[in-house]
Structure 1
Amino acid sequence: MMLFDPGAKHRSDRTGRLFAIYEIVYTCVDFGAALTFVVGSVMFFSEAWMEAGTWMFLVGSILFAVKPTIRLVREVHMYRQGDSQKVAARLRGEA
């Protein structure tokens, strides 16, 4: 088993659910990043809103940086879960 294993989400129902939860969080962050960039872009059309628009760009940039972090955390979580399943199987005498 390795990180970023495309088949990891099919190992069990539990890993499938875990993968789905992380994908939902990832998609929400993606939408949030896109939304803040669109709103920030619209704000830049007005001199009065330019500072707020700059803050929206910063928030959007942070959200875009969170995306790969979510993926890495998911992969480490699923990797550790897979290892613990192997250990448990060995302890039960199954492998």
Structure 2
Amino acid sequence: MLFQTDHRQGSHDQRRLYALFEIFYTVIDFAAATLFIIGSFMFLSDDWMTPGTWCFIVGSFFFAAKPALRLVRELKLAALGDAEDLAKRFRS
């Protein structure tokens, strides 16, 4: 099932893929948060406002990458599963 939260019952490949994507997801979270914190401090000075703005812009792209990464992960996990199960899920 797409966006299934319990992947303990999946195959070895499914568990491995899920874990790998969770690592990527966490790295993106940390990168976005770090850029927003740095950008916030830069906004305290007029001289650093432009680089701070760029930190916010890049951090925003990281935040936007999170749902895209989640969708890719779920589609890859679905592709590893049984095609008949996948077809049943889309019919219901």
Same fold, TM exceeding 0.5?
yes
Over the aligned positions, Cα root-mean-square deviation in angstroms equals 1.5
Q: Match of 1:68? A: 67
Q: Match of 1:16? A: 15
Displacement, 1:5?
Answer: 1.9
Instruction: Give the whole-Å Cα distance in 2 for the aligned partners of 1:36 and 1:45.
Output: 15
Q: Match of 1:92? A: none
7-16 vs 73-82, which deviates more?
7-16
Instruction: Give the whole-Å Cα distance in 2 for the aligned partners of 1:12 and 1:64.
Output: 29
The runs of 5 or more residues in structure 2 that have no matched partner are: 86-92
Identity between Structure 1 and Structure 2 (%): 49
Larger Rg: 1
Displacement, 1:11?
Answer: 1.1
Post-superposition CA distance 1:12-65 (Å, at most 9, x none): 111111000000000000000000000000000111100000000000111000
Once the two structures are superposed, the pairs formed by residues 1-95 of structure 1 within 5 Å of their partners are: 2-8=1-7, 10-83=9-82
